[in-house]
Amino acid sequence: MFILNPQSGIPIYRQILEQVRRMVASGQLPPGTALPSVRDLALRHTINPMTISRAYSILETEGLLERHRGRPMTVASQAKNHSQLPKRLQQIGPLVEQTVVAAKQLELSEAELVKAVRREWEQDDE
Amino acid sequence: MKAVLRLVYSYFMGTLAMRVLTIAGLMVMLISFAILVTQPHAGDSVWIAMIGLLAFFLGSSLMPLMVGRLARSHAVGILPGARFKLLASAFLTTLIVAIPAGVLSPAAFLSGMSTSLSEIVKHPGALEYVVQMALILFTSVMLFAGWLYLAMWFMSNEPNAIGSIKALLVIAILMFAPARDLQDLTMTASWNLLQIAVIWIVFGAVFLLWPRYKARREQRVSQRPAGARVGLRRSTAGREFDLMLGTSNPWLLIASQVLPVLIATRFVGDFTSIWLFYLTIFSTVTGAIAGEAASRSRALWLRGNWSRDELFSQVERSFWRHNAYVLGSLILVLLFVGSFSGFPAMLLVVGVPLLALGTVLSTYLGLMITRGLRSIESVIAVAVMLTLMAVAIFIVQEPLDLITVLAIEAGLAVLALILRSQARNRWTRIDWMECRRDRVMTARGA
Amino acid sequence: MNNAAVEAANLCKAFGQKQVLQDVSFGVSPGDVIGVLGKNGAGKTTLLEIMLGFTAPTAGAIRVFGHESRKLPGDIKARVGFVPQQDELLDQLTVADQLRVIASFYSHWDFELIDRLCGEWGVNVNARIKGMSVGERQKLSILLAFGHKPELLILDEPVASLDPIARRQFLEQLLTISADGQRSIVFSSHIVSDIERLANRIWILKDGRLDWQGDLDSLKESIVRLHIRGSGAELPRLEIPGVLNVRRDGAFATAVVRDWTAEAQESLEKSASVQIEVETLGLEEVFVELHR
């Protein structure tokens, strides 16, 4: 369910955080969906279980996940509303920044970049 | 040839200690030679030359170790002609060690006779005698050195009980054949040369053909059907501690001591004086196993409910269980050989304690080695060995000086107690990082 | 922390004149999986052996489950497992006999687990140890430390001779052991990717000191490579906090820094009017950069 790369410079718990956030925000993980247990995930990816529980705990305090006694964690029912617009914008901030830097290096104008973004957006919607 | 010379050079000069011994030995022999040539009636000073020769020989004691290691390294299979060159370097070393004896002996003879070379030359018979004598001494030293190197090879390349036993066997052969000749003055140059030739040809053939034999043996093993050996399971219950310490099987040690003795009785039954000497050396073999106890005990400490003090008591107990069998069998052999060749009863009365002392002393000496073999332990070990050998020789002298012998044995018993308390002391502070030995070279059969 | 598996304060160790460890302090809590990294001769083996009391520190104190490590009582030792760098197997025995010998020292040996692992790892219990390859010996050596289900498992380069498949099986087993969160594992290795998978904490030993100890995650967040771009043709002199090394090239520079934070980035960007791109580093690169 996750794509995890232990060798990456991005800590594993962050990789999980970002992927869960993205999948919840995009609706790929609708509210109520059960997540794999820490143990399963650790064994499947051969990674330290503490790292995974750390990511799950952060997601829980963010309100994205809900913990249940004796059952797997699930995506919180109001998870989608919970993620307010400023927060979501903040999340995409670094990506936008990178894109803008790259565009400047390629000597693209602002309008050209916006146009490219729009084209990509519409293609994805189809 | 360059490689051979380079090898020989590093045998004598490889380490600082070797260099000091080699150069000191050569200097002493030169001085002795000068004394013999310039001073008349100086034949008695030949012992100076002997010391020099001994130092020179010890200076080359790196040879068996280096040859053994190189012969087992991967390099020997890759370097061109490596095996042959190693063999040649070993032979050349033995030759070099023997040459001074051949040069010094005529000088000693001339000095003793107070004549000069020019006068001897006038008498063809005398000249022939001097040459003959030089040749005998040269070949004797070469023969002795060869055997001793072989013993050192076993000791240094198999630092375990098996290696010590092999070395002892070599020394035993040395005691029986060439040493006996030396004592009885029945050596001749041609007999020596014959022995040298046989020994070196046999050793050389084994050394050169070893890889071929090994390859064939491995092939045979690999052809054996898989799982053929499954089924035979020795029970290990109750012997775990001894197994991990290496004291679980005294019978191997016993067999390797008793068998050669019994075979030898068949041939040299009348040569009584050597027996006690021989058995005394055997009684100290257990020290070789004890010397490994410290490094082996690490796993025991981690797995068992013992403090360091208690661990020593356990180890000590285990060694006594082991030694009881070995010592018992040696005493039986002594009694057997004694009755077989008619030893005086008193000799047995003082001989049995001597064997026991050999076992006890060597066990505690071995147990004292908790920080690897250092010079102090080596010095004590050599001193104890020499004392035991000297006592063994002293006992068989007629008439028997009972009081002195008993006094010496009592002294050795006190020494054993001191060594034990020292060993115990060291075990309470045992540090397994310090006692780990260079295990890389122990053969793994890979 | 009272239930700590290991607590060490100001450990020093010298062999003669050579100082191997200097002022090393650490704690191991239940659930910790600690990866020990260091160059050859950095003191890893010495540190691990001091932890189990095989050797005494020259100065400092170390306790395992509350007991001085040099004087561990039997019930504490039964909670500890150790895989030495060089195996200490009994060459003359078969695998099964060796396992039985070691099992006899414990009251709670899990024969079932070891039998299963022998099967999974392809260890032939009827083989004689003398004829086994280095990798097989290593596997057996590891099994000997697993059978009594230790709460503290210390492994000194346990996987150096294992193939990738065997290593993965070994990692999976370690994960299973650590999954209940009650057991602690300390292991040294040069295989950084294994440590990255398995460890949640990292110790980096450098010249006998613990140069870095903490979460693997924080290590990766704290040590980063900066790509700095100035506005002019020549980059102005920069005061970069926590810098490990810098390479300048006209208007560009790359710098590796430790203890990096977003605030530090902001203030640097403002004060020097430069643009900074942050590149995160894998553990191997972090290790190399710390030793530059």
**C128/B229 touch (CB, cutoff 8 Å), yes or no:** yes
User: Is pLDDT above 50 for B446?
Assistant: no
B226 touches chain C (CB under 8 A): no
How many angstroms separate the Cα of C284 from the Cα of each of B77, B234, C41, C213? Answer: 37, 48, 18, 15
Q: How sure is the predictor about B268, in pLDDT bands with cuts at 50, 70 and 90?
A: low
C85 touches chain B (CB under 8 A): no
Report the range of poorest mean pLDDT among B198-202, B232-236, C172-176, C286-290: B232-236
Q: What is the mean pLDDT of chain B?
A: 80
**The predicted structure's pLDDT at residue C284:** 92
Nearest to B236 among C54, C100, C128 (CB): C100
Q: Residue B109 is encoded by which pair of tokens?
A: 């003879």
**The predicted structure's pLDDT at residue B229:** 34
List the end-to-end C-alpha distance of chain B, in Å, as a whole number. 31
**The predicted structure's pLDDT at residue A19:** 92
Tell me the average pLDDT across C47-53: 91
- Cis bond before residue B399 (omega within 30° of 0): yes
**The predicted structure's pLDDT at residue B397:** 74
Tell me how far apart the alpha carbons of residues C160 and B284 are, in angstroms, rounded to a whole number: 40
Contact indicator for B295, B435 with CB cutoff of 8 Å: yes
**A14/C281 touch (CB, cutoff 8 Å), yes or no:** no
Question: Who wins on pLDDT, B312 or B342?
Answer: B312
Dihedral angle of Cα C41, C45, C48, C54, to the nearest 10 degrees: -130
Report the range of poorest mean pLDDT among B359-363, B440-444, C72-76: B440-444
User: Is pLDDT above 80 for C161?
Assistant: yes
Q: How sure is the predictor about B386, in pLDDT bands with cuts at 50, 70 and 90?
A: confident
Nearest to C31 among A8, A50, A98 (CB): A50
β-partners of residue C59 are C12
**The predicted structure's pLDDT at residue B396:** 76
Q: What is the mean pLDDT of chain A?
A: 85
Contacting residues of B for C82, CB less than 8 Å apart: 302
List the end-to-end C-alpha distance of chain A, in Å, as a whole number. 25
Tell me how close the Cα of C289 comes to any Cα of chain A, in angstroms.
Answer: 13
Q: Residue B123 is encoded by which pair of tokens?
A: 């008498």
**The predicted structure's pLDDT at residue C272:** 78
User: Is pLDDT above 70 for B186?
Assistant: no
Residues 6 or more apart whose CB falls under 8 angstroms from that of A2 comprise A15, A16, A19, A41, A45
Rounded CA Rg of chain B: 25
**C73/B439 touch (CB, cutoff 8 Å), yes or no:** no
B252 touches chain C (CB under 8 A): no
C33 touches chain A (CB under 8 A): yes
List the end-to-end C-alpha distance of chain C, in Å, as a whole number. 35
Residues 6 or more apart whose CB falls under 8 angstroms from that of B253 comprise B161, B165, B285, B286, B289, B326
Say whether the B–A interface has 3 or more Cβ pairs within 8 Å: no
**The predicted structure's pLDDT at residue B286:** 84
Q: How sure is the predictor about B443, in pLDDT bands with cuts at 50, 70 and 90?
A: very low
pTM: 0.72
C181 touches chain A (CB under 8 A): yes
Tell me how far apart the alpha carbons of residues C248 and C251 are, in angstroms, rounded to a whole number: 8
User: Is pLDDT above 90 for C143?
Assistant: yes
Question: Who wins on pLDDT, A118 or B436?
Answer: A118
Q: Residue C244 is encoded by which pair of tokens?
A: 């490990």
pLDDT tens digit string along A113-126? 999 999 988 886 66
**C220/A42 touch (CB, cutoff 8 Å), yes or no:** no
Contact indicator for B24, B15 with CB cutoff of 8 Å: no
Contacting residues of C for A43, CB less than 8 Å apart: 172, 175-176, 179
Tell me how far apart the alpha carbons of residues B221 and C154 are, in angstroms, rounded to a whole number: 37
The ipTM of this complex is 0.79
Q: Which of C45, C65, C100, C106 best probes binding to B when mutated, by most B CB atoms within 10 angstroms?
A: C100
The burial class, CB within 10 Å (0-12 / 13-18 / 19+), for B280 is: buried
Nearest to A6 among C193, C277, C279 (CB): C193
Q: How sure is the predictor about B444, in pLDDT bands with cuts at 50, 70 and 90?
A: very low
User: Is pLDDT above 50 for B226?
Assistant: no
**The predicted structure's pLDDT at residue B204:** 92
**Within its chain, how far is the Cα of B412 from the centroid?**
22
Contacting residues of C for B234, CB less than 8 Å apart: 97
User: Is pLDDT above 80 for B157?
Assistant: no
pLDDT tens digit string along A81-93? 555 677 778 778 8
**The predicted structure's pLDDT at residue B98:** 92
Contact indicator for A64, A79 with CB cutoff of 8 Å: yes
